[in-house]
Structure 1
């Protein structure tokens, strides 16, 4: 593989920094929880190595009152999380340390949103001692125990990271001046459900309500969100293509024509997708194209807030994975000497059906003999590879690491 490709992948696109005072027991617990979450297996295969890099700043060097300074140019984009409590704000040198980071981020943000600072207020009153312009996440006003608050924090940060990477991906593809309006656009969620099961509509309503209460997402809820005068099918399919989808799998879901259309459209456009399983009795014919994505079991009471939070949180992770993949592979896609399609999840039969629309013959003047389909690691199982090869023997299907290692015929 060419050196330029290796260099592009050597620098992580996105890094998370976590800063807390060493005397803060809760601060360390939060930092460890964020480390474990963002270095999980689901992110390892997107960005390589051990998941999203998480850098700690807490321990001070001998003779120093604060940690070594943060390096904000160790990645293309970064998020700095500062855990504010009485231990931190009662030490002047730590307050100055945080203000210096804030000033650095502000300097970077004049040209865009590559560096962001997310203060977390874990005790009431600490914000009065910190004069930084960045809006804080108010852990001190959330309900529930520390475990519930950690889960909420992970989801809130994941959503903010999605916004960051969405904006930066757009800048990679078409650079423009700093535009806060584009950054503030909400990530849209499409709630795909069957209205022939009362439970399907009930769950969709519960998820929609929770979305509005929590993460600042936008939802699309079929007839309620279609402007008068427009054809409903055109509006529905448009929203599928630009949204992340929750497919609410109730007993009648697979039998409904438009539910099936929505799934196929979502898979065709590779949008982030999570299946919320709520089968109460039996699904007579499970729709085959609902696989290859995360499935969350809603349980006996599918409208319980904690189960809905798991669905929304898992969807946000899928959105973040999607943006990470596209950002991390942007330079490769832009300079690749061979024809390739980069897809954000392991390929399946429906992936092969989309190839003609991605690389039409009249655009390249040749067939697909030299086409490579590249997807996140790990590699497919042998039986999956054989099946896909039988269907499309002219297409080479490789995981990113296989491709980087030169596994192309």
Structure 2
């Protein structure tokens, strides 16, 4: 039986392309996923899936699948979803099984007519169309976040009262006319005059004159909003409130509203999210920003606990681990040790990503292990010998979320997370080509640069292979100075490998003129140079990892990720296929599992979708370097999953999960598990 990872929440978005709602969805989704520009940020990491189309009359080809303990579907409704028959039929066919919650959002008033029939009959809609343009994005994020909290983390239904699931807020602030008091009163007044009482219960503002049981008990059930004014950290009762919240492991956000100066920020008021506002009277937008931050941190906190407890049950982390929703602090450790009669060998697990090494030096003094589900400082360097691991990861053609239901940034997130954990285990990464700004090479090298500083590792390398056509200066036919400068920016982590032009195509370079890939003859030169690069990089690899990949608008004799896979397979290299993140590798995994070649791997499909491809094949055939699609069919349909799994140290069940899972953490976990089990025995018989 294949063990399937089931995270606490997955979020799905469905919308009609004409409704111009994607910018709102994009802004909200940004709060749910880790920022690829800040890969070590402490943000939510909830899986998200998107369903729409490029054609207004065409409904998405896929419907949301049951992927998590609770799947929350934000369904955006309008006259378009009502009047286009394919969309109407699509919405009426959405499943309504248990823990599969549809949240209808009426973009236009007409969209509310969907609630007159199943599966939305009698559903209450979020009335997006009623909001004024001013602060519409903030109101949308707040409303959507609230429904995610309600349906994703609470065991309730639509019949319960709002007060039964409201987020309790504790407004911690200095008193006696201070800015903090004014801000707290503004927040309270805003909530009392709005319809948000069913979002937040903020009926208690701490009197601050005595830290009694009533206040302490309220903090134990609340999200604390600490309003940092000039006087805040000097107030004893404010300090007590923060310490209590930390001791009880409650969500906290800090609202920075300093006017002039604070002589000492209270140390306990750190390691938490911070919202900056001006010290002047709060505006509506500022209040919304504070409430959004409080709600999102509450979601992050509860989601982190559920996820880590689940990972503990799955034996990803030690069953004796103490679970923390944010990175641990010394005071919390002291409290635990005192509670446990100074017990040693304490293990603490907190959410990804890992801390700086300097941040955890105190753990050795206490003989404590601090780790994330994928990371432990006392293990990462001792699991296995150093290997050269080749990455074949690239994006694919965007289809409007018709069949590919994940954002392409998930591939970048995967490459960052994978690079982080492989480099930390002192493996060498091998990657070919792609020196575009914001390309995969840059993402991997940025991750390596940050990681090298974090771990204080002297030797941390990425080998980047470049084909002759990718690195030469078209004027001089020598290495392009811009390429050298590009590598100079990453000189501490990258080793460029300039692959020479193949001998058989040197004679095809006429009058020392650089061949631009504008005609079939020059495209053939490019294809040979790219093949040479791929063969060299794969030969140097101990293991290859594949994900993503496009079928169209490539420069070689076949899609690049496909060619790298075929070379690696024929060289008997151990191969990890990550199919759940879309692209060519997803189609490859489906073909292997079904023992039936997908049409995209046929010559006819390639000719019909790539201009000039037939002529390129004809020229390449004359030199015996064309693509043999009969051989591709034979290879793919004959591949054994059992053998693929055995080669990389996984069970067949684990390997199939790797081929289908859309969850990045699970992909990385399975790859690290396989590498740990990997041996150097002969694997190609």
Do both proteins adopt the same fold according to a TM-score greater than 0.5, normalized to the shorter chain?
Answer: yes
Aligned pair partner of 2:344 in 363, 369, 378: 369
Cα distance in 2 for residues equivalent to 1:335 and 1:22: 40
Q: Does the alignment pair 1:122 with 2:103?
A: no
Shift of 1:340: 1.2
The answer to whether the 8 Å contact 1:162/1:323 transfers is no
Q: Does the alignment pair 1:402 with 2:389?
A: no
The answer to whether the 8 Å contact 1:60/1:66 transfers is no
The answer to whether the 8 Å contact 1:339/1:370 transfers is no
The answer to whether the 8 Å contact 1:275/1:294 transfers is yes
Give the direction of change, closer, same or farther, for the CA distance of 1:46–1:238 in structure 2 (3 Å limit): farther
Shift of 1:245: 0.6
Residue in 2 aligned with 1:340? 321
Cα deviation, 1:143-165, whole Å, max 9, x if unaligned, reads: 224xx322221121112222234
Residue in 2 aligned with 1:143? 132
Residue in 2 aligned with 1:268? 247
Aligned pair partner of 2:355 in 358, 380, 395: 380
Give the direction of change, closer, same or farther, for the CA distance of 1:335–1:130 in structure 2 (3 Å limit): closer
Cα distance in 2 for residues equivalent to 1:374 and 1:33: 30
Q: Does the alignment pair 1:211 with 2:202?
A: no
The answer to whether the 8 Å contact 1:338/1:370 transfers is no
Alignment of 1:76-155 (within 5 A): 76-101=69-94, 104-105=95-96, 107-108=97-98, 114-128=99-113, 130-131=115-116, 132=120, 133-145=122-134, 148-155=135-142
Cα deviation, 1:2-52, whole Å, max 9, x if unaligned, reads: x99xx57x333311111112333x13333333333322339988999x932
Shift of 1:259: 0.7
Cα deviation, 1:247-279, whole Å, max 9, x if unaligned, reads: 011122112221111000111111111111112
Instruction: Provide structure 1 residue ranges, at least 5 long, that are not aligned to the other structure.
Output: 109-113, 172-176, 362-366
Cα distance in 1 for residues equivalent to 2:313 and 2:79: 48
Shift of 1:406: 5.2
Q: Secondary structure at the match of 2:212?
A: helix
The answer to whether the 8 Å contact 1:59/1:66 transfers is yes
Aligned pair partner of 2:304 in 294, 313, 325: 325
Shift of 1:343: 0.4
Q: Secondary structure at the match of 1:279?
A: coil
Instruction: Provide structure 2 residue ranges, at least 5 long, that are not aligned to the other structure.
Output: 383-685
Shift of 1:295: 1.5
Cα distance in 2 for residues equivalent to 1:237 and 1:179: 31
Give the direction of change, closer, same or farther, for the CA distance of 1:389–1:207 in structure 2 (3 Å limit): farther
Alignment of 1:194-209 (within 5 A): 194-209=174-189
Give the direction of change, closer, same or farther, for the CA distance of 1:384–1:37 in structure 2 (3 Å limit): closer
Aligned pair partner of 2:15 in 14, 20, 34: 20
The answer to whether the 8 Å contact 1:45/1:51 transfers is no
Cα distance in 2 for residues equivalent to 1:342 and 1:190: 24
Aligned pair partner of 2:273 in 272, 277, 294: 294
Give the direction of change, closer, same or farther, for the CA distance of 1:406–1:211 in structure 2 (3 Å limit): farther
Give the direction of change, closer, same or farther, for the CA distance of 1:28–1:223 in structure 2 (3 Å limit): closer
Shift of 1:118: 1.2
Cα distance in 2 for residues equivalent to 1:194 and 1:51: 34
Cα distance in 2 for residues equivalent to 1:199 and 1:71: 47
The answer to whether the 8 Å contact 2:226/2:255 transfers is yes
Q: Secondary structure at the match of 1:283?
A: coil
Cα distance in 2 for residues equivalent to 1:121 and 1:224: 41
Alignment RMSD (CA, Å): 3.5
Cα distance in 2 for residues equivalent to 1:286 and 1:277: 11
Alignment of 1:148-227 (within 5 A): 148-168=135-155, 180=160, 184-212=164-192, 213=194, 215=196, 216-222=199-205
The answer to whether the 8 Å contact 1:47/1:328 transfers is no
Q: Secondary structure at the match of 2:202?
A: strand
The answer to whether the 8 Å contact 2:370/2:376 transfers is no
Q: Secondary structure at the match of 1:23?
A: helix
Cα distance in 2 for residues equivalent to 1:371 and 1:182: 40
Give the direction of change, closer, same or farther, for the CA distance of 1:326–1:19 in structure 2 (3 Å limit): same
The answer to whether the 8 Å contact 1:164/1:183 transfers is no
Cα distance in 2 for residues equivalent to 1:16 and 1:335: 22
The answer to whether the 8 Å contact 1:60/1:68 transfers is no
Shift of 1:317: 1.3
Cα distance in 2 for residues equivalent to 1:67 and 1:280: 51
Cα distance in 2 for residues equivalent to 1:127 and 1:179: 19
Shift of 1:69: 4.3
Cα distance in 1 for residues equivalent to 2:46 and 2:255: 26
The answer to whether the 8 Å contact 2:52/2:60 transfers is yes
Residue in 2 aligned with 1:70? 63
Shift of 1:53: 1.9
Cα deviation, 1:251-310, whole Å, max 9, x if unaligned, reads: 221122211110001111111111111122222332111111111111142411111211
Q: Which moved more, 1:376-385 or 1:90-99?
A: 90-99
Cα distance in 1 for residues equivalent to 2:304 and 2:220: 18
Shift of 1:323: 1.4
Aligned pair partner of 2:6 in 5, 11, 15: 11
Q: Secondary structure at the match of 2:344?
A: coil
Cα distance in 1 for residues equivalent to 2:159 and 2:381: 41
